[in-house]
Amino acid sequence: MNAFVIPQNVAINNVHENFDEDGHFLEDAPSKDFYEKKLNQNIKKISFYNNLFKNNQFEQ
């Protein structure tokens, strides 16, 4: 299919217990460390692939 799969999504349970209305982690969020780590890992992977494809374009 000539497709590249992006990193796994991060499903966040109990959003109301972890984030405020603006999408920021609550300081006392019960799962803050876990989700922060997972989200940062995905951001790094997406950034890596973005740079890889941007700097190594292939002809179709």
Confidence (pLDDT) at 44: 92
Predicted confidence (pLDDT) at residue 52 exceeds the cutoff of 70: yes
Residues in the chain: 60
Q: Which amino acid is at 19?
A: F
More confident residue, 60 or 8: 8
> Distance (Å, rounded) from C-alpha 60 to C-alpha 57?
10
Tens digit of each residue's pLDDT (9 = 90 or more) over 4-34: 777 677 788 888 888 899 988 898 888 888 8
Report H helices in 1-60.
Answer: 15-18, 32-55
Place of tokens 């940062």: 40
> Distance (Å, rounded) from C-alpha 43 to C-alpha 40?
5
> Distance (Å, rounded) from C-alpha 7 to C-alpha 31?
21
The pTM (predicted TM-score) of the whole model is 0.65
